[in-house]
C-alpha cells in the first residue's frame, strides 16, 4: 500500500529531477509501510538514514542546476530554505528514532507527504519552468486551484487504494467487522457479519442490527456502546444473536471508538468472533461438573463412613511409620558414619603400618649403633695395650655376644625396609592427590579452546550468574595441542577468582586470539583489583588475598604450574578499583618436550 503515488501530474520535464523525485516518493512509501507493519528498529533507522542521505544528494543536484543557470537569487534562496527546513526536520527525527521508534508518527508522515507534494508542485515546478523555458522564476505563477486539485487527486488515489485493501481483507476474514457513525448507525459491515446476523447483504438500519440481538442481551449491548462513546474507551463484550428460526449464536466482540482530529466522536469500529462452539462446550462442561460434584459428594460420604472405621488403624500406622522413619534415619546416619570411619581407618592403617615399622626399625638401629659404639670403645682401649691377651679376648667375646656379623647385615636390611616404608607413604599420598584430581595426568590432544571455555562456564555458572555478566569476544582460534582437562582447571580457577573479585555486579570478559605460533586467552573482570604489593606473590602456593577460610591459596599456583607444563605463559595486569586481566599464552603445536617424546616413540 502506497501513501504517495507517482504519476504524470508530478513530472516536471527535467529527467534527472523527475527520476530523483520518484525515488524520494518510493523511499517515503517504504518508511510508511515499515511503520505500518511494525518493522524492527534497525530496519526503520536504516530507511530513515537512506531517506536523509538521498534527500541531501537530491537537494545538492537541484542547487547545482540552479547555480549553473544563474537562477533568480531570491527564488534560489527560497528554494534553498525549503530544502534546509526539510533536512533539519529529518535530522531531528533521525536523532529521536534512535531513542524511540515511535518518533515516526502519523503526524510526521503527514508532514512528509504535504511537504513533498507542495514542494514538487510549487517550488520545484517554478525551477523547472524557469530552467526549461529560460524565464525568470519570480515571474511564474502557479495555479493554486490546479495545484490543490492535483494534491487532492493523489491523496484520494492513495485513500482509495487503502480502502480497497481494507475491504478486501474485511470481506475475506472469518470474523464480524463493522463500523458505525456517531449515532451508532452501521456504515460498514463485512460479508461474514451479514451471514452471522442472518440479514440481507445491504447496510442494515440500527433497528435491524439491534433486533438481531437476543432480547435479554439487547440493553446490555446498547449501554456498552453508549458508554464507550462517552468515555472514548475500548470494550469487550459477549452477547447472543437470536435468528428468526430460534437459533442462538454467541458473539465475543472487541470494539474501539473512532475519534476525529478535533477530538469529537466519529463512531465505533469493532470485530466479533463466533464463540457458539465454545459456549456449548462450556455448557456441557458445567453439566458434567454438576454430575461429577454429585458423584463426588456421594463417594465422599461413603469414604467418610469408611474412614471412621479405619481411623484407629490409620493412627496406629502413622505412629509405626514415624517410629520406622526415626529408626531409619538413625540407621542411615550410622551407616554414613561407619563408612566415613572405615575409610578413615583404612587410610590410617595404610599410613600407620609403614610408619610403625619405620619407628621400630629405627629403635633397633639405635640399639645396634649403641653396641657398635661400645665395641669401638673397647677397641680403643685395647689399642693402647694391644699385647693384652685378656682384653683382646674380651673384645672377641663381646663381638660374639652382639653377633657383629649379623648386625652388619641386619642394619642394611633395616635401612632398606625403612626406605620401602617411606616409599609406600609417598605412594599413598600420591594416590590421595590423584583421587582429588589436583595433579592428574591427561593425554595430549588437539583441542578447541572455545569448547573448553564454554564447558567450564557451564560448570561455574552458579558462581557467576548472580554477580557478573559474561561478554565473549572470541577470535579465530585453530585447535591447540594441549592437556584439555588441565586447561579447563585453569579456566575454572580464573573464572571463580573473577567472580569472587566482583563484590556486587560487574562484567567478566573472555577474549581469544592468535599471535604468530601462539594462541592466547584473556579473562578480565571489573572487580576490586589486586594491590600492587600483592601482585608479585599471587602465584605463590598458599598465598591468598581472600579472608581466612575463604580460599586455599592454591588455585593460581596450580594454574601457573599447568601453564608452565605447556611451555606457555600466564600474565596478569590489575588496577585497584578497576579490575584484573589474566592472559594465558600457549604454543599452538604443544610443548616441545611432548614433541620429542612422540618422535622417540616413532623412532
Q: For 418-444, b where at least 16 C-beta lie within 10 A, e where not — what string?
A: beebeebbeeeeeeeeeeeeeeeeeeb
235 Cβ contact partners less than 8 Å away, ≥ 6 residues apart: 224, 227, 228, 254, 255
CATH code, residues 8-167: 1.20.120.50
How far is Cα 467 from Cα 484, in angstroms, rounded to an integer? Answer: 27
Those residues of the chain that have pLDDT short of 50 are 1, 156, 326-327, 329-342, 344-345, 429-440, 599-603
Q: What is the pLDDT of residue 481?
A: 94
CA distances from 136 to 74, 76, 125 (A): 11, 11, 13
Q: What is the pLDDT of residue 434?
A: 36
Q: What is the DSSP letter of 204?
A: P
H or E, element range at 186: strand 186-189
* Helices then strands, each counted (H, E), the chain: 17, 12
Ramachandran quadrant class, 267 (left: phi over 0; alpha: psi -120 to 50; beta: rest): left
- At residue 305, φ and ψ (nearest 5 deg) are -65, -40
CATH architecture of 173-274: 2-Layer Sandwich (3.30)
Q: What is the pLDDT of residue 575?
A: 92
Question: Angle at Cα 480 formed by Cα 475 and Cα 485, nearest 5°?
Answer: 105
Q: What is the pLDDT of residue 572?
A: 93
Question: In the structure grid, which three cell numbers stand for residue 129, read together?
Answer: 519552468
- Ordered by start, the domain boundaries in the chain are 8-167, 173-274, 445-599
Q: What is the DSSP letter of 121?
A: I
Q: Is the CB of residue 256 less than 8 Å from the CB of residue 268? A: yes
Q: Is the CB of residue 235 less than 8 Å from the CB of residue 255? A: yes
pLDDT in tens, 163-221: 666 667 667 777 888 888 888 888 778 888 777 777 777 767 778 788 888 999 999 99
CA distances from 96 to 99, 100, 414, 552, 588 (A): 6, 6, 91, 54, 49
CATH code, residues 445-599: 3.30.565.10
Amino acid at each position: 500500500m502506497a501513501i504517495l503515488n507517482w504519476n504524470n501530474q508530478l513530472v516536471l520535464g527535467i529527467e534527472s529531477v523527475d527520476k530523483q523525485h520518484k525515488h524520494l516518493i518510493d523511499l517515503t512509501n517504504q518508511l510508511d509501510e515499515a511503520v505500518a507493519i511494525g518493522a524492527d528498529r534497525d530496519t526503520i533507522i536504516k530507511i530513515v538514514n537512506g531517506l536523509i542521505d538521498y534527500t541531501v544528494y537530491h537537494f545538492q543536484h537541484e542547487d547545482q542546476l540552479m547555480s549553473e543557470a544563474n537562477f533568480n537569487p531570491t527564488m534560489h534562496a527560497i528554494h534553498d530554505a525549503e530544502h534546509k527546513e526539510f533536512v533539519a526536520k529529518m535530522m531531528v527525527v533521525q536523532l529521536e528514532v534512535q531513542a524511540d521508534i515511535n518518533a515516526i508518527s502519523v503526524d510526521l508522515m503527514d508532514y512528509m507527504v504535504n511537504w513533498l507534494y507542495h514542494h514538487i508542485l510549487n517550488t520545484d515546478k517554478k525551477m523547472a519552468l524557469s530552467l526549461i523555458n529560460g524565464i525568470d522564476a519570480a515571474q511564474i505563477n502557479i495555479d493554486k486551484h490546479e495545484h490543490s486539485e492535483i494534491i487532492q487527486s493523489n491523496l484520494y488515489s492513495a485513500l482509495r487504494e487503502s480502502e480497497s485493501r481494507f475491504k478486501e481483507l474485511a470481506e475475506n476474514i472469518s470474523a464480524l467487522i463493522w463500523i458505525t457513525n456517531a449515532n451508532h448507525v452501521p456504515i460498514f459491515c463485512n460479508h461474514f457479519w451479514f451471514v452471522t446476523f442472518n440479514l440481507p447483504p445491504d447496510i442494515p438500519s440500527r433497528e435491524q442490527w439491534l433486533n438481531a440481538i437476543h432480547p435479554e442481551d439487547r440493553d446490555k449491548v446498547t449501554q456498552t456502546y453508549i458508554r464507550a462513546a462517552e468515555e472514548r474507551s475500548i470494550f469487550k463484550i459477549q452477547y447472543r444473536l437470536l435468528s428468526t428460526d430460534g437459533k442462538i449464536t454467541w458473539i465475543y466482540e472487541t470494539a474501539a471508538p473512532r475519534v476525529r482530529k478535533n477530538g469529537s466522536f466519529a463512531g465505533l469500529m469493532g470485530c466479533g468472533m463466533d464463540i457458539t462452539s465454545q459456549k456449548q462446550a462450556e455448557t456441557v462442561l458445567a453439566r458434567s461438573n454438576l454430575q461429577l460434584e454429585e458423584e463426588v459428594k456421594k463417594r465422599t460420604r461413603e469414604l467418610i463412613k469408611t474412614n471412621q472405621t479405619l481411623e484407629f488403624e490409620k493412627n496406629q500406622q502413622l505412629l509405626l511409620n514415624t517410629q520406622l522413619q526415626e529408626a531409619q534415619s538413625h540407621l542411615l546416619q550410622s551407616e554414613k558414619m561407619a563408612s566415613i570411619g572405615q575409610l578413615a581407618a583404612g587410610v590410617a592403617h595404610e599410613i600407620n603400618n609403614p610408619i610403625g615399622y619405620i619407628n621400630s626399625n629405627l629403635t633397633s638401629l639405635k640399639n645396634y649403633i649403641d653396641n657398635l659404639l661400645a665395641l669401638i670403645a673397647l677397641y680403643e682401649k685395647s689399642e693402647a695395650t694391644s699385647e693384652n691377651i685378656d682384653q683382646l679376648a674380651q673384645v672377641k667375646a663381646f663381638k660374639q655376644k652382639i653377633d657383629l656379623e649379623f648386625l652388619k647385615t641386619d642394619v642394611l636390611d633395616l635401612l632398606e625396609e625403612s626406605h620401602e616404608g617411606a616409599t609406600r607413604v609417598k605412594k599413598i599420598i600420591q594416590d590421595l592427590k590423584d583421587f582429588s584430581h589436583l595433579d592428574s595426568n591427561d593425554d595430549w590432544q588437539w583441542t578447541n579452546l572455545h569448547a573448553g571455555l564454554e564447558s567450564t562456564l557451564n560448570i561455574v555458572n552458579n558462581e557467576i550468574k548472580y554477580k557478573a555478566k559474561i561478554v565473549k569476544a572470541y577470535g579465530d582460534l585453530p585447535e591447540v595441542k594441549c592437556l584439555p582437562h588441565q586447561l579447563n582447571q585453569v579456566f575454572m580457577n580464573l573464572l571463580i577468582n573473577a567472580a569472587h573479585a566482583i563484590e556486587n555486579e560487574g562484567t567478566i570478559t573472555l577474549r581469544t586470539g592468535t599471535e604468530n605460533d601462539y594462541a592466547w586467552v584473556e579473562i578480565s573482570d571489573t572487580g576490586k583489583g589486586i594491590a600492587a604489593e600483592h601482585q608479585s606473590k599471587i602465584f605463590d602456593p598458599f598465598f591468598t588475598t581472600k579472608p581466612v577460610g575463604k580460599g586455599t591459596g592454591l588455585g593460581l599456583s596450580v594454574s601457573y604450574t599447568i601453564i608452565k607444563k605447556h611451555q606457555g605463559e600466564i600474565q596478569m595486569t590489575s588496577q585497584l578499583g578497576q579490575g584484573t586481566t589474566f592472559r594465558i599464552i600457549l604454543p599452538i603445536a604443544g610443548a616441545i618436550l611432548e614433541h620429542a617424546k612422540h618422535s622417540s616413540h616413532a623412532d
